[in-house]
Every structure is written in structure tokens, then in C-alpha cells.
Amino acid sequence: MKKLRRKVYMTAGYNTISLGTGRKEFNPKKPRPGIEHYIKEAGQGVLKQIGGAKNVDESVIGNFMAGRFNKQGHVDGFIPMIDKGLSMKPAVRVEGACASGGLSLVTGIRNILAETSEVVLSLGFEVQNTVKAIYGADILALAGWFQKRKKGHAYFFPGQFSDRAGAYYEKYGYERTRKGMARWYANAIENARLDPTAQEYHNPSPDPYSTALKMKPNGKAFVDHLTVLDCSKVSDAASGITICSEEGLKRIGVDKKDAVEVVGFGHAVRDITSDPTDLTELETIKFAANQALKNAGITIDQVGTVETHDCFSIAGILAVEALGLAAKGEGADYVAEGKTGRNGELPFNTTGGLIGWGHPTGGTGVHQAVTIWQQLTGKAGDAQSEISSDRPYGLTINMGGDDVTVTSIVFKRGK
Amino acid sequence: MTYDERLQNVSVLGAAGKMGSGILLLTAVEMADRSLLPENKGKTFVLNAIDVSDEGLAGLMNYLRVQVRKIAEKKTVWLRKMYADREDLIENFDIIDEYIFDVMNIVRPTTAMGAAHGSTLVFEAVNENRALKVKLFTQIKQNNNKDVWFFTNTSSVPIHLIDEEAGLDGKVIGFHFYNPPAVQRLVELIRTVNTKDEVVEFAYSYAKNLRKIVVPSNDFAGFIGNGQFMRDGLYGIGEAQRLSKEKKMPLYKTIYMINKITQEYLIRPMGIFQLMDYVGIDVMQFILNVMNPFVKDEDLQNDLLDKMMEQGVKGGQYSSGAQKDGFLKYEKGKPVAVWDVEKQQYAAIDSFKAECDALLGNLPDSAVAWKSTLRMKNKEEVFTHFFDDLKAMSTMGSQIAINYGKRSKAIGEKLVSDNVANNVDDVNTVMLTGFFHAFGPINNYFD
């Protein structure tokens, strides 16, 4: 991939809370806000920071399955609802399953690079608590190939990643892998407790690591190789961020120091109708993340913080390996040793990731960019990590389906 | 006849009632599950839901649809396997909907008793009225040319009397669910000396498939559950009356106090008066009337119950499951007032609570709420500590509570010595699982 032909920045991120089980205000029996609320809150949250809708040239909104979760199509039509100033301007909805948010970002980046826009409002959302988990599993299964649905598990995606975890246990050992997965969960909870918008912000567990380690996968109740703590939660949330050129930054009156520069990105898609070549490897993540690093002209040891797509704890461990931080089969140990923790060698998912912060499928990619923007510009509040000058870069990895669609972006603070 | 063959044609009498609807639901689900097994493909399963009320039956079908969905949602993993050969059923949505249809498709709601004439198993859940039960069974027995077995959900009528009076030739068993049957795990199983072994065997298999905890009870009116509860309730009423007289206080205040003691001091899910309301004062009267002629050394009745019935205050539940007012008046399920039999109106608890609570005295610091004991691992240690503290106190509340605990124990022990229950564990299991007590009545906490 060619070097970026002009500078691209992101700034003015905003996250709604991630609502679902775990949040004190969540009550499945009471009515909850719909998609309109989330789109509006995230959109307006961004617009307030950039001088209003008049400064926006166009919008991109990522969403996976509003058509079924909310029985609503034509999602780009909600953009002008955020602010009248967005009316009669271009807006597009993008979908790539759980990478829809990432697609919203790379679409915005491309529009800046194409010079068709100087300021893009990028949003992502999903409102999933409209159905029970057993039906939500059907909807999320559409991120896989429908022809495989019949033979799949009732909880289709947990079933897919359970197979990956099972293959990993068999190849590299059950106990050590479970330790890595339990540590992944504990990190997620501990980080989420530092971000007031996170779904696990209220989690009171005194020892999440032991809780996760004690819980054993039970195929009769759920899937064979994962527990519920290995899985991201069902979430309602939206995130938004501004993508802009240097000229755009000036227009919205944001200092470069308060923005992050996109120094490279990767985007790859694997054939959805084929099975993964190796269950213990995330090949598309490996490809796209390395593409992003190469595009940025950096190596992983220059990265100070990573937001990776841990829809399941095993996916977090496999991403560690895909990034070359640990050899194949040693990612679990790397995590178990605390190296991905907030005080570890390379902090991952500093506001909880998908397991801790939440996983509003179509919004996750944008949420990851917001977190990196917060971390690199010192706006992460209690969740702030120290970003050292020799590792100034941030990296996101957003995955759709079972390693089918992946976007990955490298950021550094603007100057 | 195999287990599955026996279940191919079943009738539930009183299917639209509180107990009947739950029994119908569980049986329909069990029959549908059997029908899905590969060896039963193509076989027809019929469940006649018989009731006198068309309106009730319409409500029953709605109840079934909602409940079967909930059940299906919990076993979708298994259902996907059962429907693996149905290529048209792909998503969980499809599979759950099909299962709901398959369960409903077994059920034939009807007001015609004749439907039971072709059944091989008849489940009875009509009113607690011996003559009615006998009449229905007799009628079916005379018109049914199958080898029909009878299950009765009676909570008090001796089974051998039903057997003899309806001429069932030992093909009858007491299968007493707790309310609500779909939720409560306890079943009291009552065989008579005449009950055929194969009926008992079937009953155990059926209970196991319904994931019920079976406690065998001997065939004495009231069995274990009501044997304990009715006496416990009468004692509670007696205590309230005694206290009212001794302290010259209106009865509604002492009802409040005994209710509080039985809940908070004895760590029960609800106080004894609330429990009597839950069961229904009328149902309690019914059961006592059935039991009383069979007990020789006691008189199981109380004038307060008669008075409540006369005044039309009966408790029980609405079809929605909400609590009707009885001894206590409820708002959002919580007691807010107590019935004053003298003035025939409710007295707000807030208006006298402080006075009564002060009389009872404070609970020791070691007190625990019933709810907090649900997942407690060191219950025995915690209870011993609490009751030891209670015994060391001389407050009115602690004294009444200790005596109450002793009385409950004596009732339980008498059930064993009278051979109603086979052993102490059975009595305790019934109270732990059927009444959700935190500890069994036969214990050493109060000695």
C-alpha cells in the first residue's frame, strides 16, 4: 500500500455509555433508548467539539444489523436527524459485520485522501438488547456464511471461537491457555472500571482473575471451550469521531496536539465461504495489522498502546501472536504474564475492550479509535496510560466475522 | 406398555386451574420432547386439556405459548440437535417457533370429559374436594377401555380412599406438585398399599424427566407438606391470639408481630400469615376440613379462619399470579396493612409498626436476611451463631421465635413418629424445597 498522500487526523471523539447487563441503569424489563438516541448523542457529542454541523462535509455511519435488531434499514437517513446542519450533505452507511465501525473510519480516511472532503463525521452504533441473547445469536450469525448456519451452534459465533479455543488447547495445552484467557478477562474488567462509559464500569468483583479461572467451559450449558466470561457482552452504544485533513483541523479550530494523526492503515477481507486455514491463527488480522504497520513505516515495538478486537478472550490471545509479540502458542503465556495489562510491556484495550467496555458490534471500530485518541492526547481520565516517547504510536484492530473483514489503523499524536 | 406409549394419550382434569395449567405445561413439554426422539418419529401424542371453563382454557393456551417459548429458549442447543434433519429450520428463531407449535399441537383444549375416555394416563388437578375427585375418576374408569392410570394432585385427601371409592384397583398414585408446578421442584409422591409397582416406577421416571425432587410420603391426610404447614399456620394464629389477649392488644397488631417473627427471626422467605395468604385462607380451610376427621389427638381448626371466611377475606392469587389481600393487604407484593377482624377493615402497618417493633425488641447483630442465605456456604455456622444469640436474649421477639422454632420441630418429629414421613430428612427436604425454608424444621438450633 502506498504512503498516505496527505495528512489525515482524527479528533473530537465521543462515546455514549455501553448499556447492557452489568450497568446499574440496565433493566431488561424496562423500555430503553432506541437507535435514534444513540446516533444523536454520539453525533452531537462530536459536533459540539468541532464548531457544529456547518463544519462537516460528509458523514459515514457504521452499523451491522439494525435491520434485524431494530427492524430499521436506511440508516444513513438518520444523519440529518443529529443536526439540521447535516441535511443535504452526503452520508453513507457502511457494513462489514463487527468491522462496520472500522469501515466507517477507513471510508472517512479515504474520503479525506481523495480530497472529496476535509471534515468527515464518522459514527458507529448498534442497539442489540432489543432481543434475547438466543435470538441475538441468530442475528450476529449473519456475520458468518448463512449456508453454515444450520450446522452451527445455537450460539453461532461463540461456537466458532470455541472451536478456535479448543484447537488452541489441544495444540498448546489447556491449563496455560485458560490462565491467559482468565488474565485477559481480568485486564478487561480492571480497565473498564476506570472508564465511566464502560459496560463493566460497575463490576464489583474483588478478584476477576480467580473468578474467570475457576469457571470451566461447559458444553451442555453453553459452548464446549468458552465460558461466558470469555465472551464480549450484548451492548447498546454509539461512538463518533471526526476525521479531517490539516485544512479541516483548522476549520474546526482544533489544535494538532488535541488530534491524532493517521500514519498508516490496513484493510483486508478473507473469503467468507472458506474455513480458516488454521484455527489457531487469525490470518486476516495478521495481514491487515502488518499492512498498517508497514504503511506507517513502523514496527510493533514502537507501538505504545493497542485496541484489539477481543470479541472473545481467545481472539485477544491470537491477536497478540498475529502482531508477532509472541510466537505461535505462546500468546497465552504472554498475556498470563501480564504483558498486555495496563502496566505491562504493551497495554491492550485500556478502557476494557470488547469484553470490558462492551461490544456494540457496528460501533466497536469507532470506539477503538476514540480510545486511542484519548490515550495519545492525554484525555483518557482515570484510564490514562503512560505513553512513552520511544513508543508513541497507537494501533487499532477491528474484525468482522470470523477473521473475515479486518481494518487496522496506526495513530500518533498530532504536532 | 412402555413409558412413551403410556404418554401417547394423556388427560389433565382441571387443566385451566392454578395447578392444572402448570401440570399441563410440564406434561405437554415432556410429551413433545419424547415425540422428538428418533424412535418416536411419526407417533402421535395427544394431551387433552380438560376444564369446565372455556374462558380458562383460552387463557391456558396463551399461558402455554408464553411459557413454552421461555422453556425453548433455554434448551435451544438441544432443540437444534432434535431438528437437525429439518433443513427448513435454520435459525434459533425458526427452531423455537417450530417447537412451540409442536408442543401446542399436542394439546387439545376441551370442556368435554369424554376426551379422557381414550387416555392411558389421567392427571387430576381439580378442587380439593374428595367427592368430586372420586366422581370424575369413577366416570372415566367406567368409560375407558384402556389400561388407564390415575395421578391425583391432591394435597390432603388420602389416596387409598380415592382408590377404593372410585374402584381404581391400585392404579392410582398421589403426585403432589407445589405451586407453581412449573417452578417449584418438589413433588410429594404418595402410594397406597394397593398402588401397583409399575405405576410407582412410571411416576418416578416422569418426575425425573421433569427434573423434580421426589419425596415419598405415606398416605395420611395432608401428607408431609400440609401436615407441617397447616399445624405451623394454626400455631401462628394461636400465638397471635394469645399475645393479643395477654398484652391486651388488638389482634391485627399481634398478627403483624407473629408474621414479622416468623419471617425475620426464623429466616423464612415470608411470614406465616403471608404464607397463609399465598396459599389462600379458603384453600387452607378446605385442607383442614379434609385432614381434621383423620387426626385423632388434635383438632385442626381455628375460629379466626372461620371469621375471615365469613368476612370474605380469603387471600389466594389472581390469575396473573399477583397476591390477593388476606390477613395482610399487599401493594406491589409487599404487605402494607393488616386485616382488623373487629372493624372489618385494614389497618396500615406504618401506623403501629414502631410500637410493635419496640415491644419485640431488636434482633441481634448476627441476624441474617433469608435472601442472603440462598448462596451461603456456611449456613449452619451462621444459623447456630444467630440462634445462640437469640436464645441468650430475653426480648419478647426472641422468646416467641425460640418457642416457634421448637414447635415447628415438634410438628416435624410427630410427622415421623406418626409414620407420615419415613424419616427426618424427608420432612426437612419438603420444607427446604417446597417452602424454601433456609433450614429444616427438625434441627438443634432451638434446643
Helix extents (H) in B83-196: 92-104, 130-143, 159-166
Which pLDDT belongs to residue A362?
A: 98
pLDDT of residue B321: 75
Q: Report pLDDT for B132.
A: 96
Residues of chain A positioned with their CB less than 8 A from the CB of B79 = 154
What is the interface size between A and B, counted as CB pairs within 8 Å?
A: 26
- With a cut of 80, say whether residue B320 has pLDDT above it: no
Amino acid identity of residue A325, one-letter, is: L
Whether residue B200 contacts residue B442, with contact meaning beta carbons closer than 8 Å, is answered with no
pLDDT of residue A220: 87
Here the contacts of B36-39 (C-beta below 8 Å, separation 24 or greater) are: B36/B82, B36/B83, B36/B102, B37/B4, B37/B82, B39/B4
pLDDT score of A142: 98
pTM over 0.80: yes
Substitution target in B91, B96, B97 with the highest count of A β-carbons within 10 Å is B91
Pairing of strands A236-244, A8-15: antiparallel
B319 has a pLDDT exceeding 80: no
The amino acid present at A101, given as its one-letter code, is: G
pLDDT, mean of residues B177-193: 94
pLDDT of residue B250 exceeding 80, the answer is yes
Q: Which domains, and CATH codes, for chain B?
A: 3-217 (3.40.50.720), 225-434 (1.10.1040.10)
**Closest partner residue to A138 among B79, B87, B93, by Cβ?**
B93
Partners of A137 on chain B (C-beta within 8 Å) are 92
pLDDT of residue B322: 84
pLDDT on residue B88? 97
Q: Report CB contact under 8 Å: A134, B76.
A: yes
| Rg of the Cα atoms in chain A | 19
Taking the CA of residue B91 and the nearest CA in chain A, the distance in Å comes to 6
ipTM of the complex: 0.90
pLDDT reported for residue A221: 86
Q: How far apart are the first and last CA of chain B?
A: 52
pLDDT in tens, B348-385: 999 999 999 999 999 999 999 999 999 899 999 999 99
Residue A264, burial from CB neighbour count under 10 angstroms (0-12, 13-18, 19+)? buried
Question: Which residues of A have a catalytic role annotated?
Answer: 98, 359
Domains of chain A: residue spans and CATH: 8-132+234-258 (3.40.47.10), 145-232+260-413 (3.40.47.10)
Give the nearest chain B residue to A146 (CA atoms): B90
Cβ contacts of B436 within 8 Å, gap of 6 or more: B268, B269
pLDDT (tens, 9 = 90+) of chain A, 415 residues, equals 788 999 999 999 999 999 999 999 999 999 999 999 999 999 999 999 999 999 999 999 999 999 999 999 999 999 999 999 999 999 999 999 999 999 999 999 999 999 999 999 999 999 999 999 999 999 999 999 999 999 999 999 999 999 999 999 999 999 999 999 999 999 999 999 999 999 999 999 999 999 999 999 999 889 999 999 999 999 999 999 999 999 999 999 999 999 999 999 999 999 999 999 999 999 999 999 999 999 999 999 999 999 999 999 999 999 999 999 999 999 999 999 999 999 999 999 999 999 999 999 999 999 999 999 999 999 999 999 999 999 999 999 999 999 999 999 999 999 9
**A114, A209, A187: which is closest to A355 by C-alpha?**
A187
